[in-house]
Amino acid sequence: MAKPQARKQVGKPKKSGLGGMGILLWVLGLPAAFMFLPTIILLFFAMLPTFAALLAERGPNRFAWLCVGGMNFAGTSPYLLDLWVSGQSYGKVFEILGSVVTLMVMYGSSGFGWLLYSTLPPVVTVFMTLSASRRIARLRGVQRTLVDKWGPEVGRVDEEEAEGA
Amino acid sequence: MAQGPEKAAGEKKAVKGRPGGAPRVSGEAVLLKDRYALYPASPLHELNSPTAQAFAAEDRRDQSNRLFVLICDPELPSRINAMRALRGVKVGGLLPLVEWGPVFWPPDGRVCLAVVYEEPLGGRVVLGPQARQDAIQEHDVVRRVIEPFTAAIKEIADRSLTHRAIRPDNLFYMDAARRQVVFGECVTSPPGYDQPVMCETIPLGMAQRDGRGPSTIGTDLYAMGISTLILLTGRNYVADMSDEEVLRTKINQGSYATFVADQRLPLPLIEVLRGLLSDDPSQRWKIESLDMWLAGRRLSPILVKPTTKAMRGFSLKGTEYTNTCELAQAVANAWEGALTTVQDGQLELWLRRALDDKPRAEMVKSAIASGPTGTTDPGAVADYMLIRVGVILDPLAPIRYRGLNVMLDGIGWALAVRMMQKQSVQTIVDLVVRDIPRLYTEGREEYNPDNAFFLNELKQMRSFLAMKTKGYGLERCLYEMNENLPCQSPLIADQYVLEIGDLLPALDAASKRVEHSRSPVDAHIAAFIATHFGYDLDPQFSALNDSTPERACSGMLSLLAVLQYRGGQEALLGLASWAASQMTPLIKSYHSTERKKQVDRELPRLIQKGSLPEMFAFLDNVEERQKDRDGFSRAKAEFAETEREVVSLERGGKEREKEAERTGQQAAALVSVVIGLLTLGILMFVRLF
């Protein structure tokens, strides 16, 4: 039998640099960024609590920045609309960012996000615990009915079963 | 079933005067089979048997019949088969047995067996072993004694029985003129039980009285010879001797010489008496010989061979023995004490030199040299050797084993007597288990087909003894070997249950006085049923002996139900109640509480019906049982599933918290994003429109 010829898997050389998609993004993104720079500037400063939350959050479940971000965005959206209506001028951006009230609204709304993030999980926990207790009670009830109907032996584990287990 | 006491008409009764003016019967009567009035207050001591008391009796249908009743000892087996066979038999020479049956006997407060006989008007011929009476004249002996006795023995033999109670003090004059001599009763005790050693052949005389067995008609003829001789001479030469002395004299001198002694007998009678009293069973006269002699034919006279005596005695335990018969008995009595003497070759030497019996000496040598087969127990080895040597020395002797002396056909009787009298039966059990009777039959020169029957029966008994469960064991042996023995269960022993059909009514009656915590089927009752019931009961016994209480209960009820169903008995309320009280494990074995409640509701109704088959069908219903099992399995699986879920819920607290936190965070994020987008959307909508 002929010795099978060893084939050397020659891996394709890894593409370095940007692919087609990356180039497309850069081609379209850079002009767009320049076009919407006032909006970006507003969003950058208005959404600082969200970026802080994103950076500060650790662990597998990273929902805090979304929570903060959603509310932060809700607080920012009136001013964003003002900016867009006013034709995205830099002056309008600085006017908005220069107002303490505006900043308080935007950052304050992110605080509601934090509030939501910290209060909803305990509520869900309580709800789930109550639900489990109700389920246990219902199952115990079923067991009681079985014992009433078939005697306490119904709950006794047979030796064979126990050994099998 | 036994009938209860009944007041005789006119309350206290005193009728029919006896000679001397005394009233014959008095007091209340007990009725036997609705016909025979038995009077417990009117004893007839002169008609007593050694183990049965006599009382006055009357025939309600024919008061001219002079009757008496014998009340059997309840602690002794009676010969029921003989009662059945001899009931109504009227033959010269035999006291007519009129009726028999169990009756409630007030003086004993229990059911006893009553045997009604015609009253011998002339009374007893010989009043006691040592009493002297007028000799019957020589010319009368043939007509008044030998002819009727022969006819009676022939009649008994025709029914495949033996009398086994022919002795001088059991002879009666049937008529008031004291002419007609008859044999007395022979049914109230085991065969040969009441016989003095003088009336038994030498081998039977060596056996214990409860183990003599029915033997053959030859033993009756021998006893007839002894009785005839004593009636003829009017004297009993051995009356003053002890049983041992009588036996020794018989062995050494022969029976004829022992009883005739120095008396001069009428020449015509010498032949018949020599023939009847021959100690050699093969030479002893048979019925045919007697018939021929009575018909006038003269037979060749029997030469009485004296027992071979040794030139010098064999010393055992300080006593010198000059013949093998006595020596065999001495060896059996000494047993282990004789072991050394037998083993060291002295016996063989004595047989060879002093007795000049070389074949027997060789046999003894061979018996000592060859060990027993199938045992390594040194005790058993010694036992087997002593038994073999005993058989060689005296092949006709009873089976001797560790103090037990029984004939092969007497083993069952001995077992019955000892069990009824609450004596130890261990030696008999050992005898059967070790198959010792086979050694005896193998050691005998003549082949007897009856021995094969008994050996086969004992083989079956061994298999029963090997099983210790209800329906088998020693009790089964007892009833198999004594088919006509009443059930000995302490529950119903006082009711004398002979027939399987009487068992359930007896248990029903017993239910009123027995604690219901006891099982109605004990070892005796189970064995009695197994012996007497003609159908296969293996499934019932298998269940009865099961280790699980519910199966045992079911088996017990099933057994009783089959009996009631097959026997067609009416309602047995007491027994039904008793059996129901034993059914707790069976009822508990149902898992369904619904079914248990149903049983509780229905059981009283079934008890009221007194039907054990219905009770069994209801309590151990196959469909219900299957339904219960299936339902229980499903319920068990459901319970286990719910339990697993509960455990999972109870153990999953921390995981649930983590899950809840994650879910809460997700929900918060979702709500927040939705609010953000909605706000933007609404504001855009407002601005645009």
pLDDT tens, position by position, B616-652: 999 988 899 999 999 999 999 999 999 999 998 888 7
Task: Give the integer Cα–Cα distance in Å for B612 and B553.
Answer: 13
Contacts of A136 in chain B (CB under 8 A): 646, 649-650
User: Each residue of B107-127: pLDDT tens digit?
Assistant: 999 999 999 999 999 999 886
The mean per-residue pLDDT over the stretch B531-539 comes to 91
B592, B650, B661 member nearest A121 (Cβ)? B661
- As a residue count, chain B comes to 689
Which residue from B minimizes the CA distance to A116? B668
The mean per-residue pLDDT over the stretch B1-30 comes to 54
Contacts of B656 in chain A (CB under 8 A): 125, 128-129, 132
**pLDDT over 80 (residue B133):** no
ipTM score for this prediction: 0.77
Contact B529, B476 (CB under 8 A): no
Burial class of residue B301 (count of CB atoms within 10 Å of its CB; 0-12, 13-18, 19+): exposed
Q: What ranges do the domains of chain A cover?
A: 36-119
Which CATH code, of 3.40.30.10, 3.90.1150.10, 3.30.479.10, 3.30.200.20, is assigned to B5-119?
Answer: 3.30.200.20
**pLDDT over 60 (residue A1):** no
Phi, psi dihedrals of residue B567, rounded to the nearest 5° = -80, -10
A117, A126, A155 member nearest B668 (Cβ)? A117
> Of B14, B12, B34, nearest to B22 (Cα)?
B14
Cα–Cα distance list, A123 to B506, B531, B665 (Å): 79, 81, 11
Sign of the Cα pseudo-torsion (B560, B561, B564, B566, in order): negative
Task: Look at residue B12 in the predicted model and tell me its pLDDT.
Answer: 41
Contacts with B, A 91-120, CB within 8 Å: 113, 116-117, 119-120
**pLDDT over 60 (residue A93):** yes
Superfamily of domain B124-294, CATH level 4: Transferase(Phosphotransferase) domain 1 (1.10.510.10)
B592, B669, B677 member nearest A150 (Cβ)? B592
Task: Look at residue A113 in the predicted model and tell me its pLDDT.
Answer: 92
Return the amino acid letter for B653.
Answer: G
| B8 band by pLDDT with thresholds 50, 70 and 90 | very low
Task: Look at residue B374 in the predicted model and tell me its pLDDT.
Answer: 58
- Among A107-116, B91-100, B655-664, the range scoring the smallest mean pLDDT is B655-664
Contacts of B230 (CB under 8 A, 6+ apart): B126, B168, B236, B259
Q: Which of B633, B650, B662, B665 to mutate to test the interface with A (most CBs of A within 10 A)?
A: B665
Query: CB distance from B657 to chain A under 8 Å?
Result: yes
User: Each residue of B225-253: pLDDT tens digit?
Assistant: 999 999 888 888 888 899 999 999 999 89
User: CA of A21, closest CA in chain B: separation in Å?
Assistant: 28
User: Each residue of A9-42: pLDDT tens digit?
Assistant: 444 555 555 578 888 888 888 888 888 899 999 9
Average pLDDT over chain B, rounded to an integer = 89
Average pLDDT over chain A, rounded to an integer = 83
A73, A77, A117 member nearest B665 (Cβ)? A117
Which residue from A minimizes the CA distance to B683? A78
**Cα distance from N-terminal residue to C-terminal residue, chain B:** 116
Query: CB distance from A71 to chain B under 8 Å?
Result: yes
Contacts of B683 in chain A (CB under 8 A): 77-78, 81
- Among B17-31, B313-327, B487-501, the range scoring the smallest mean pLDDT is B17-31
The mean per-residue pLDDT over the stretch B499-520 comes to 93
Which residue from B minimizes the CA distance to A143? B639
| A129 band by pLDDT with thresholds 50, 70 and 90 | confident
The mean per-residue pLDDT over the stretch B287-303 comes to 84
Contacts of B595 in chain A (CB under 8 A): none
Find the Cα–Cα–Cα–Cα dihedral B631, B637, B640, B644, rounded to 10°. -140
User: CA of A163, closest CA in chain B: separation in Å?
Assistant: 15
The mean per-residue pLDDT over the stretch B391-410 comes to 92
More confident residue, B164 or B651: B164
